[in-house]
Structure 1
């Protein structure tokens, strides 16, 4: 026997249920186990090779809500634009537009690897130099200019009072406690039970590892969590880990991005969580 989650489903309109075994015993990754009160093959006249439509009824009754940081809780896009262009200016490269920075961040890519011209001599050495220069001034710049979105405090407070476990998963750096410092300054650090950064796991987003690690620390199954983020990599990580996913439009991701990645819900800002999770 093993643990499994059962979700309501419809197979071409017929009521059914989909069974998701625990990750460590899910042998057939590309298969879906279904249960129904009737013989599906006979009712739908299905033959081998036929394609049928399965709709899952995703309920939002989580035990934990886990958030991305930049673009989701923290308004920091301008900080990254200034940081990248100041670094380029110091090494004699042409500045890039905000639209270009946003495109890079949408996909969770390393900005130096993507934005550095391919035909430059000693390109790898220049990338290393950019990283070193950015490390000198980025953290002070982040501390000075990054701010919580105004809706964050009331939303986290409402979810916390509802008894939900709240946590943070970010690919951001925290060398001197700057993330916790910023969250403490904004008055929300006390709501967060766990914070997982890039230093806590080997594989980063969109791999599922950061979210799985966070859920282990919280003592909840990943499928009992909702992950909220603003970028494609956030939704990809959540789906890879089999968590419910919510795309928020306060950062770099677009509605089209989230629709393409089949996020379970899309909200304008974090206040949309209140209605989705039926918090009163």
Structure 2
């Protein structure tokens, strides 16, 4: 197998892709909801990560008293809790450092396009990996969130690489849809928000079980995938 990458740039999602933040989402949801006597299931957390529907709209029963007002209170409390909880519970995904360094060594430009705020980058900053990225786009940089491709296209533009020469790596169906809308190869990472069935249905060009498999996949992407 050739060691030559079939793409010039690789753009990554953050939550569930580079940073294992699922536990942090669970903790925030549980802490925010506890005063209201609510129990938030793991299924609700995963469902929320796979849709554009607001988290608390999914989590609150339809007949919950003062629902709209309560949703807003929960949203504000979750936002307040998030930075500290992410710092305590967010962990770098296995092999992230080795894979990112390896891609850089092979000449790929690296970017981040995340729907999360800049605080979601704390785990990468803590271990010094943020400096490996040539462009970073967060929620503060765009007006439209995934599956709209604005964030991905903004990142590709900052990298100076055409979308057709770029792969996007993410763990949710929204990531796959955004990649296709941007004209990029869509690489689905298993073990995060979406399973193989969900990611394939959303249009994943390739699925990888771990970041460690990524470099090999990027050497064999067909020209039909790189639109």
TM-score (ref. length: structure 2)? 0.90
- Measure how far apart 1:68 and its partner are: 0.4
Residue in 2 that maps onto 1:188: 129
Q: Quick check: 1:243 aligned with 2:187?
A: no
Q: Distance in 1 between matches of 2:159 and 2:144?
A: 19
SS of the counterpart of 1:189?
A: helix
In proportion to residue count, which structure has more helix?
2
Residue in 1 that maps onto 2:203: 262
- Measure how far apart 1:108 and its partner are: 4.5
In proportion to residue count, which structure has more strand?
1
Q: 2:66 aligns with which of 122, 125, 132?
A: 122
Q: Distance in 1 between matches of 2:52 and 2:113?
A: 14
Residue in 1 that maps onto 2:29: 84
Greater relative contact order: 1 or 2 (C-alpha under 8 angstroms, separation 6 or more)?
Answer: 2
- Considering only aligned residues, what root-mean-square deviation do their CA atoms show, in Å? 1.7
Q: Distance in 2 between matches of 1:180 and 1:99?
A: 25
| Gapped regions of structure 2 (runs ≥ 5) | 221-227
Which has the higher Rg, Structure 1 or Structure 2? 1
- Measure how far apart 1:182 and its partner are: 1.9
Matches within 5 A, 1:33-48: none
Deviations 1:3-43 (A, max 9, x none): xxxxxxxxxxxxxxxxxxxxxxxxxxxxxxxxxxxxxxxxx
Does the 8 A contact of 2:187 with 2:205 survive in 1? yes
Structure 1 stretches of at least 4 aligned residues deviating more than 6 Å after TM superposition: none
Does the 8 A contact of 1:67 with 1:167 survive in 2? yes
Count of aligned pairs between the two proteins: 217
Q: 2:110 aligns with which of 142, 166, 176?
A: 166
Q: Quick check: 1:63 aligned with 2:4?
A: no
